[in-house]
Amino acid sequence: MTLAVSALLFGLWAYLIGSIPTGYIVVKVFAGQDIRKIGSGSTGATNVKRVMGKKWFFAVMLLDAIKGAFPVIFAVFTVAKFGIKDPYGVCAVISAIMVILGHSKSIFLNFQGGKSVASGVGTILALSWQVGLAIAVIWGIVTYFTRYVSVGSITALALSPIIMFFTGKPAAYTLYCLLGAVYIIYLHRENIQRLLKGEENKVR
């Protein structure tokens, strides 16, 4: 199987996995509500917290991170298992891109979704657990001190390509982090506007 065909198949698989609307399912099953009609309308963990509290916030965040990591790990394992020639990690990077695209534009929710922060961190963890852990720690520290999840998310993702670059990982991984950061920050554009107006909701 050629690299192009492999990347296409991994990408489609990753998009479908990313499209599984974790937050939507949790709120629908356990609270009987449509998360898209509550708060920001996002299906992500922060909006789930508004409905179901802190415990479910962390549960959905963990599930989304696993959802982000799984297709990337699967791609890396399969490439190695079947000897697919992929010296630059193209299959893993395509999988990472498509899983966050699926999370934010789910085919199961008429192309609605979340802001892909947790799933994005999951993909980075799968590419490099050291970089992913560093990003998670940065997110936690910034969120704790600013009390804004959006500020923690934007800061952590903005730093991800820099950290990936200085850890000596493949250039494709750094490029992915850069593109992912730009995309996820773009998804936070309304949060940025609310921050500038002093209207953004705080964690506590």
- pLDDT digit string, tens, across residues 53-73: 999 999 999 999 999 999 999
For residue 1, pLDDT over 80 is answered with no
Angstrom distances, CA of residue 96 to CA of 10, 11, 72, 154, 176: 10, 8, 6, 18, 8
For residue 202, pLDDT over 90 is answered with no
Tell me if 11 sits within 8 A of 94, measured CB to CB.
yes
Residues 66-88, mean pLDDT to the nearest whole number: 95
Report domain extents, the chain: 3-20+64-197
| Of 70, 118, 116, 125, residue with least CA distance to 95 | 70
Residues in a beta bridge with 84: none
Tell me if 52 sits within 8 A of 26, measured CB to CB.
yes
Q: Read off the pLDDT band of 204 (50, 70, 90).
A: low
Other beta carbons less than 10 A from residue 108's beta carbon: 14
